[in-house]
Amino acid sequence: MIRDLFNDEVIQIRANAYKAMIAVAEYTYGIDQIIHLGILPILIDKLVEEKIEVIMILILSLLKVLMEGEMAPMVI
């Protein structure tokens, strides 16, 4: 699962995992699935643990997209 890549040692792999989640969260169905899979608590934990600023920005961007979910289109 993509969320498993949040723990990868390679920074670019972690960054790509968050970018993939951001892409999924562009649509209402994707947001619903991310929330349903329980990824929000993982994102908060990773935000606290993460030391790399670029990754922290990606986490915050993903959280922002998830919180503004009502603006996402319904269709894929």
Q: What is the pLDDT of residues 4-37, one digit of tens each?
A: 999 999 999 999 999 999 999 988 889 999 999 9
Q: Does residue 74 sit in helix, strand or coil? A: coil
- Residue 76 CB burial class (10 angstroms; 0-12, 13-18, ≥19): exposed
- Whole-prediction pTM: 0.87
Convert the pLDDT of each residue in 25-74 to its tens digit. Answer: 988 889 999 999 999 999 999 999 999 999 999 999 999 999 887 666 66
Contact 50, 9 (CB under 8 A): no
CA distance 30 to 22: 9
CA distance 15 to 70: 25
